[in-house]
Amino acid sequence: MDLSLELFPRHPKGLRLKNPIIAASGTFGYGNEYADMVDATRLGAIVCKGTTLEPRPGNPQPRLLETPSGLLNSIGLQNIGVGAVIRDKAPLWATWPVPVIVNIAGETVDEFGELARRLDGVPGVAAIEVNISCPNVQRGAQEFGADPEQAALVARAVRDATSLPVIVKLTPNVGDIVAVARAVAGSGADALTLTNTLRGMAIDTKRKRPVLGGITGGLSGPALKPVAVAMVYSVYKAVDVPLIGCGGIYTASDALEFLMAGARAVEIGSASILNPDAAVRVIDGLGQWLIEQRVTAVTEIVGIAQGEDRSGVAFYEHH
């Protein structure tokens, strides 16, 4: 039974993962914080906290709220800044047997390019994941990822600034995810992550005010899973770059849904906040399932739920 895979088959350097389970950005710190609680070296890869050019203090408290089926967060990209990542974290990562992918966030297209340029060639950095769910300050704070053209500009700026593999992480807060995926894949992305959190909010009825310090937040966890699975299923037919599924994965069965829909790998976020061991349990469960089903390689099940139908069921034609 073989859990390994090549994450970037079209990139000259590529990146071999020992299994398809990746720790999602913002839920596993810089990797080292969890060292006492879980054997992080078991993971296929780790994506670090979203990184900006300058350190950021993040949003006012409260920042995290439990809902009946997931988490609402408004962390506001609190992070140590790219300089400290390169100086203090990357040298550590270079000694680890698990690849670390740096998640980046900018306020302008140029900032994304600058972040990628700074990280290019830094030992310990295996790839870049581009978070296009952040507000574009030059466009009235609309998310970069909400507009195919803006999303493509970011992907191109990062592609041109680095020789590292580039993953673009899409936002689900869009009307037509396929259009954004096509634009980004056509602008040099080596893989796409689907998806980031859904925008949401909660009101404190006693105070008659929004609960979260950031007012709105991102919904993750079980409520997000069907949305993200549908997006993976639809985008799989439309682009020829690998997809990484993300949203509400708590168990091996959740991960299998994404793989069968068309994801080559998956990221685990909120589940690790609840239980740092969650991702390792998913790896074990996935291995067990493959043995029981007599599947020799995990790559054999990628996209298997698509069946023979490659005609491209339109994403919003299900009503």
Ligand X SMILES: Cc1cc2nc3c(=O)[nH]c(=O)nc-3n(C[C@H](O)[C@H](O)[C@H](O)COP(=O)(O)O)c2cc1C
Residue placing its CB nearer to ligand X in the complex, 24 or 302 = 24
Active-site residue flag, 134: yes
Q: What is the total count of residues that contact ligand X (CB under 6 A)?
A: 26
Structure tokens at 69: 């089926």
Question: What phi, psi does 16 have (nearest 5°)?
Answer: -85, 125
Looking at the DSSP bridge assignments, the partners of residue 245 are 194, 266
Residue placing its CB nearer to ligand X in the complex, 18 or 225 = 225
Q: Is 131 in the site for ligand X (CB under 6 A)?
A: yes
Q: How many CB atoms lie within 10 A of CB 212?
A: 26
Structure tokens at 302: 């990628």
Residue placing its CB nearer to ligand X in the complex, 69 or 293 = 69
Which span sits near ligand X by CB under 6 A: 68-76, 156-164, 182-190, 235-243?
Answer: 68-76
SS (H, E, C) 185-198: HCCCCCEEEECCCE
Q: Is 102 in the site for ligand X (CB under 6 A)?
A: no
Which span sits near ligand X by CB under 6 A: 91-99, 118-126, 138-146, 245-253?
Answer: 245-253
- Contact flags string 254-293 toward ligand X, x per CB under 6 A: --------------xxxx----------------------
Residue placing its CB nearer to ligand X in the complex, 77 or 179 = 77
Residue placing its CB nearer to ligand X in the complex, 202 or 206 = 202
Contacting residue, 1, 3, 53, 77, with ligand X by CB under 6 A: 77
Q: Is 220 in the site for ligand X (CB under 6 A)?
A: yes
Residue 16 Cβ vs ligand X, minimum distance, rounded to whole Å? 23
Contacting residue, 20, 22, 26, 229, with ligand X by CB under 6 A: 26
Contacting residue, 71, 158, 194, 280, with ligand X by CB under 6 A: 71
Q: Is 221 in the site for ligand X (CB under 6 A)?
A: yes
Catalytic residue of the set 134, 223, 231, 298 = 134
Residue 182 Cβ vs ligand X, minimum distance, rounded to whole Å? 21
Residue placing its CB nearer to ligand X in the complex, 9 or 29 = 29
Residues 46-65 that bind ligand X (CB under 6 A): 49-50
Residue placing its CB nearer to ligand X in the complex, 48 or 312 = 48
Q: Is 248 in the site for ligand X (CB under 6 A)?
A: yes
Closest CA to 185 of 137, 145, 233, 240: 240
Q: Is 224 in the site for ligand X (CB under 6 A)?
A: yes
Q: How many CB atoms lie within 10 A of CB 95?
A: 8
Closest CA to 80 of 70, 88, 92: 88
Residue 51 Cβ vs ligand X, minimum distance, rounded to whole Å? 8
Binding residues (CB under 6 A) for ligand X: these are 24-27, 49-50, 71, 73, 75, 77, 103, 131, 169, 196-197, 220-221, 224, 246-249, 268-271
What amino acid positions are annotated as catalytic residues? 134
